[in-house]
Amino acid sequence: MSMSKNRMTYLDYNATTPLCDAAREAMLPYLDRYFGNPSSVHAAGRAARAAIDNARDKLAALLHVRPHEIIFTSGGTEACNLAVLGLVGRLSDRSSGGNHLISNKAEHHAVLNAIEYLEKRENFEVTWLNISEKGIIDLDQLAKAIRPETRLVSIMTGNNETGVIQPLREISHLCRERGVLLHSDMVQSFGKIDIDLSLVDAASFAAHKFYGPKGAGFLFLRSGLSLQPIMFGGAHENERRPGTENVAAIAGMAAAAEWALPDREAEQAREAHLRDALRSIWKVSVRRAAQLVWSARLLPLMFCSLWVCQSNARALPSDSR
Ligand SMILES: Cc1ncc(COP(=O)(O)O)c(C=O)c1O
């Protein structure tokens, strides 16, 4: 995106994307006229509730899942936390299962820190899978690591920094074979690659990565799985996530998804083309991470770092140094 007003070319779409017109239009009525609390039974509340139901139906249809399998959250971090902490439960609930988790250190902090919390504070044992030179987790190690006490495997679909796509089908196969729950952080993948939620038990999403508003996201949770809420409050989201819903942001998120998904293939091809063109003309400093990016199955994004020598750096605005 070129922001002519600021004379800035914005390339950091992994960090966040601008709001698309469809999302903005879908949000405006709920910031203005339809301001009711969706839990209120009167007309104003019912109008807000209808927006949430509608958004849930739209997202479910786009992802080929059931509406009640979608739990709205405040974004990707909360969705990941809810999956990891909510599916595993607390130490005191462990009578119902084991104390072993499997993940890897390349996860976003939203998953990484939640799992490290369970490891350090709740005495869970964690197998941290090795990652190959190409950024892929070790499937043989995963197969060997799964054991009767394993409660959850959490492996992201597409990496937010390298763009590496994990072999989710194979991971899913191993987990299913052994009856272990699988969560995947799909925050960077939605709108960029095909997503098949039949492969996972839970998956996390954030609207601002696909041209929706910040502060809105959702967790897909397979029907029949129980989840322990990680916050205490009302009975919102089928008693799985308390708190008055961010109605406007939820409406905007569904509109953004509807806008972004149908064009996904064309957009993926366009972005991959841009990435490859940049790659061929830029003299990117080829450090280990850059080599890794060029050699694996990738999201249509490019990881690069720019090193500016000290004297030139002084001429740059402070936010670019
Ligand atoms: C892979 C991944 N997971 C989770 C998150 C957290 O999402 P949010 O910023 O909506 O909390 C991000 C955000 O950068 C991400 O890239």
pLDDT digits (tens, 9 = 90+) for 146-181: 999 999 999 999 999 989 999 999 999 999 999 999
Instruction: Identify whether residues 191 and 298 lie together within a single domain.
Output: no
Query: Residue 6 domain-assigned?
Result: no
Give the DSSP letter of residue 238: H
Examine the domain organization and report whether 299 and 168 are in the same domain.
Answer: no
Domain shared by 146 and 272, yes or no: no
In whole angstroms, give the CA distance from residue 104 to residue 151.
15
| DSSP letter assigned to residue 83 | H
Neighbours of 131 (CB within 10 A): 18
Ligand 1: residue whose CA is nearest its atom 4? 76
- 289: domain range? 264-320
Q: Is residue 7 part of a domain?
A: no
Report the range of poorest mean pLDDT among 1-5, 86-90, 229-233, 240-244: 1-5
Where is the domain boundary, 228, 260, 292?
260
- Find, among 122, 118, 142, 121, the residue nearest to 132 by Cα: 142
Instruction: Give the binding-site residues of ligand 1, using a 6 Å CB cut-off.
Output: 75-77, 80, 108, 110, 156, 160, 185, 187-188, 206, 208, 217
Give the mutation target among 16, 77, 168 for probing the ligand 1 site: most ligand atoms within 8 A of CB.
77
Nearest CA to ligand 1 atom 9: 76
Between β-strands 8-9 and 2-3, what pairing exists: parallel, antiparallel or unpaired? antiparallel
Mutate to test the pocket of ligand 1, among 104, 108, 192 (most ligand atoms within 8 A of CB): 108
247 and 277 co-located in one domain: no
Using the atom order of ligand 1, give the atom closest to the CA of residue 159.
Answer: 1
Last residue of a domain, one of 260, 275, 307: 260
* pTM confidence score: 0.89
DSSP secondary structure string, 24-78? HHHHHHHHTT----TT--SHHHHHHHHHHHHHHHHHHHHHTS-GGGEEEESSHHH
Answer whether residue 106 is part of any domain: yes
100 and 115 part of one domain: yes
Total structural domains within the chain: 2
Cα–Cα distances in angstroms (integers) from residue 132 to residues 136, 179, 211, in the given order: 5, 26, 32
The pLDDT assigned to 262 comes to: 79
Answer yes or no: is 11 within a domain. Answer: no
Most ligand 1 atoms within 8 A of CB, residue of 165, 188, 301 to mutate: 188
DSSP character at residue 165 = B
Note whether 218 and 290 are same-domain residues: no
In a domain, 22, yes or no: no
Rounded Cα distance, 318 and 226, in Å? 48
Q: Using CA atoms, how far apart are residues 246 and 261, in angstroms rounded to an integer?
A: 22
Q: Which of 219, 238, 260 is the last residue of a domain?
A: 260
Please tell me the distance between residue 163's alpha carbon and the centre of ligand 1 in angstroms.
13
Give the range among 60-64, 129-133, 310-314 with minimum mean pLDDT.
Answer: 310-314
Distance of CA 33 from the midpoint of ligand 1 (Å): 31
Regarding whether 293 and 183 lie in a shared domain, the answer is no
CATH assignment of the domain containing 138? 3.40.640.10
Burial class (CB in 10 A: 0-12, 13-18, 19+), 42: exposed
Q: Say if residue 254 is in the same domain as residue 296.
A: no
Asked if residue 13 belongs to a domain, the reply is no
Query: Is a pLDDT exceeding 60 seen at residue 12?
Result: yes
**Do residues 220 and 269 share a domain?**
no
Residues 118, 254 share a domain: yes
Q: Note whether 120 and 218 are same-domain residues.
A: yes
